[in-house]
Structure formats: C-alpha cells, structure tokens
Amino acid sequence: MPTKPCPFCHLGPERIAGSNATGLIVRDAYPVTPGHTLIIPRRHVGSFFDLTPEERTGLLALLDEARASLERSHQPQGYNIGINDGPAAGQTVPHLHIHLIPRYAGDAEDPRGGVRWVMPGKARYW
C-alpha cells in the first residue's frame, strides 16, 4: 500500500508566513481560532524529542516571531501552545508541528484548564 506524501514536506510558498534555516511558520489549514499558526521544522522529523538542540532553538525563535506577528495582526488576549507527539497523543501528521493558538476573550465558555482539556475528565481540577 503506497504511503501518502508528507503534507508539511511539500508546502506551497503561499502557505509560508515566515521562515529561518531551521523551520517554517505556516497558517493552519483548519484553524481552531483566527490566526492559528504552525511552526514546522524543515527536516522531516516526527517527534519534538528527536530535534537537535539547534533545531529546538530555531523553532522557538520562529514561535516568538509568529507570536509577534499575531500580536500585530490579531491582538489576542492569550495563547495555547501545543504539540501532539505520537499517535497516542493525537498526532495525525507524522511531521512535528507546534501549534500556536491565539485565544480571545469569550472564545470558550470557561477557558480555565487550557490544554488540560485533552483529557476532559481530568481537566477541572479547581
């Protein structure tokens, strides 16, 4: 059975919002909030834990750059930053990508717990 090509290894230039030697800034194709952005390494690597120290530094610099851009263009009131690392964590594209999700007042009824809601029965700890 043929495997599908990696969607992050073959991005059109119109999708790229920024870059450095290590990675790319890309607007999410299926955004959960306005401005939802992905930070993607140039090297095809599945896990954050397989990055080199230099790649981690480069990707975190892109995360800062993407945030600065969103501050100018969308003025969010907060952010969720997340990585689905491995199928058990919900990773569906086997190329590492960091989600930078802008958050806005009122975009969720009760945003407390943030990323803890990946496990809904455990999210409410207060």
Question: Within a domain: residue 120?
Answer: no
Residue 101, SS3?
A: strand
- Give the pLDDT score at 2: 59
- Give the pLDDT score at 126: 66
Q: What is the pLDDT of residues 32-41, one digit of tens each?
A: 999 999 999 9
- How many domains, in total, are found in the chain? 1
Question: Within a domain: residue 77?
Answer: yes
Q: In 3D, which of 41, 107, 57 has the Cα closest to residue 80?
A: 107
What CATH number has the domain bearing residue 40?
3.30.428.10
Question: Within a domain: residue 31?
Answer: yes
Q: Strand order of the sheet with strand 78-82? A: 16-19, 23-27, 37-41, 98-103, 78-82
pTM strictly above 0.75: yes
Q: Rounded distance, CA 1 to CA 92, Å?
A: 18
97 is catalytic: yes
Q: What is the pLDDT of residues 74-98, one digit of tens each?
A: 999 999 999 999 999 999 999 999 9
Q: What is the pLDDT of residues 5-17, one digit of tens each?
A: 899 999 999 999 9
Q: Which of 36, 74, 95, 97 is catalytic?
A: 97
Quote the Cα angle for 1-46-26, to 5°: 105
